[in-house]
Amino acid sequence: MKKKGHLIKEIAVGSIAEELELEPGDRLVSINGEAVEDIFDYQYLVEDEYLDLVVEKANGEEWELEIEKDEDEDLGLIFENGLMDEYRSCTNNCVFCFIDQMPPGMRDTLYFKDDDSRLSFLQGNYITLTNMKQKDIDRIIRFNWSPINISVQTMNPELRCRMLNNRFAGKVLAYLDQLYEAGITMNGQIVLCPGLNDGAELELTIRELSKYLPYMQSVSVVPVGLTRYRDGLYPLKPFEKEDAVSVLEIIRRWQEKLYLEFGNHFVHASDEIYLMAGEPLPDEDEYDGYPQLENGVGMLRLLMEETESAICCKVDEMRADAGEDMTGELWADGDPDGDEVPEIYSTQNVSIATGLLAAPTMNGLLDEIKEAFPWISGKVYPIENRYFGEMITVSGLLTGQDLLAQLKDKPLGDRLLLPENMLRSGERVFLDDMTVDELESALQVPIVMVKPSGKALVNAVLGLGEEDEDDMFRPYELEDDEL
């Protein structure tokens, strides 16, 4: 039986809660007579200057506390669960679900399918709306949660029911009208499955979603990912080059039309689609400020722009250190004189491993770095995803065992650089539970995990310190203690 209230894990030092002699193990029952559903209720209710708290002590005794405080002053309560509620799991059985295509034996957290509107606001997850009731929509509007990221897939109600295997999946699209009328910012996602929601269906979906501009600020189109573990699942066709070319024709046509009307390109193809089509990535100004980076839209373009900028900044910095003319060419005659270059910039030989899709781009970026800093040498190794299957080409789904098998006999230089999105958030662990230390020991080379920025890449290649940036959130996995 679920206990009432929310378990308090810690009390902040010097806080109101400490002054009131609250302790870890106590449970918050209500604020101003209202039960607290989750962190959003809590933060909303504690904004009042006058509070009436009911707290149940660990021994079962109930305290009622009257508090007078400043409007923006926190109570200092830290709860066992950051959301202060259980996470909502997905009630669909989508024909394209990636989790259904994973092999058995992986850690439990990788199999959890979340579909929680609160995680959409807090962490950028995409939700289907199918497990939401009217009260959930009312809370989004009440608390002004923005942006809300929505897995639309199609605006054809009947087709959406079939793709999500949920008889309510078409009906809940009406929630989009309420969010639009309330001015809630939204982002949409379309997982494109050839033969289902492409072609004329994609045209319909873009047209219907564009009616929600400007509050529906962007829509991404990403290709379905198919692993080798699809026995017994819906027979989806793989996304191929001709599909990518066709999709880009549709997207460009809509971008031209909507940009003229709204000054917003609105619908964007993921990087995968451009690379699969063999077409160049759009210019930076065509991404409208990168609203869907976590969905793979514009990540490579942003990395390219940041890397170019980081190279220029580092060259200027090193020119100044060497006492060179700031407007002159740096080391135009070839390798720099050791007396002109700070000792920290020594000869470096690096290797970079990444997914098949990003490898050509990473190879071009490494060439740019080597051209700017002639004492750098190195190589990019494309890694085939044998664990999930050859059709999975992104770096974020590579495993330690694939890296080991394909790099063990390769010359890796002074260190191996790997993109940090291969790891579980906050830990040095790959999807297959191999640790970075284990891979490092097996390959007998230092490994540097590189954060997703051009400056971090340049610094890593040059052998400088890590970037001080927030960890990336991996939307496919929650923490163990959150489930």
335/279 same-domain check? no
Nearest residue to 244 (alpha-carbon basis) of 275, 286, 219: 275
352/234 same-domain check? no
Give the amino acid at 446.
P
Mean pLDDT of 337-362: 77
The CATH number assigned to the domain holding 174 equals: 3.80.30.10
Count, residues in the chain: 483
pLDDT exceeds cutoff 60 at 336:
no
pLDDT, residue 478, reads: 43
159/290 same-domain check? yes
- pLDDT, one tens digit per residue, over 253-267 is 999 999 999 999 999
Q: How confident is the model at residue 322 (pLDDT cuts 50, 70, 90)?
A: low
Average pLDDT for the chain: 87
pLDDT, residue 325, reads: 46
pLDDT exceeds cutoff 70 at 168:
yes
441/314 same-domain check? yes
292/304 same-domain check? no
pLDDT, residue 347, reads: 72
pLDDT, residue 114, reads: 65
The answer to whether residue 462 sits within a structural domain is yes
What percentage of the chain reaches a pLDDT higher than 70?
Answer: 85
| Boundaries of domain holding 369 | 300-469
- Report how many domains make up the chain: 3
- Residue with token string 């009328």: 181
257/132 same-domain check? yes
Mean pLDDT of 356-375: 94
pLDDT, residue 385, reads: 96
282/337 same-domain check? no
Q: Which of 296, 324, 356 is the last residue of a domain?
A: 296
Q: Which two tokens stand for residue 85?
A: 């509620």
pLDDT exceeds cutoff 90 at 279:
yes
C-alpha dihedral sign at 400, 401, 405, 409: positive
Query: Are 483 and 112 contacting, i.e. CB atoms less than 8 angstroms apart?
Result: yes
- Higher model confidence: residue 469 or residue 244? 244
- pLDDT, one tens digit per residue, over 216-243 is 999 999 999 999 999 999 999 999 999 9
Q: Which of 28, 50, 79 is the last residue of a domain?
A: 79
DSSP state of 267: E
The answer to whether residue 478 sits within a structural domain is no
How far apart CA 22 and CA 31 sit, in angstroms, is 15
pLDDT exceeds cutoff 90 at 151:
yes
Q: Which of 7-11, 430-434, 471-475 has the lowest mean pLDDT?
A: 471-475
Nearest residue to 421 (alpha-carbon basis) of 395, 384, 392, 460: 395
Mean pLDDT of 74-89: 77
pLDDT exceeds cutoff 80 at 117:
no
Nearest residue to 85 (alpha-carbon basis) of 130, 54, 48, 40: 40
Q: Which two tokens stand for residue 197?
A: 């929601």
267/337 same-domain check? no
Q: Which of 296, 331, 357 is the last residue of a domain?
A: 296
pLDDT, residue 67, reads: 93
Mean pLDDT of 444-457: 95
pLDDT, residue 440, reads: 96
pLDDT, residue 447, reads: 96
Helix 359-372 / helix 454-462 crossing angle, nearest 10 deg: 60
pLDDT, residue 65, reads: 93
Query: Are 425 and 276 contacting, i.e. CB atoms less than 8 angstroms apart?
Result: no
Which of 141-150, 151-160, 339-348, 366-375 reaches the highest mean pLDDT? 151-160
Could you tell me the strand order of the sheet in which 267-269 lies?
A: 126-127, 148-151, 186-192, 216-223, 267-269
- pLDDT, one tens digit per residue, over 297-316 is 999 999 999 999 999 999 88
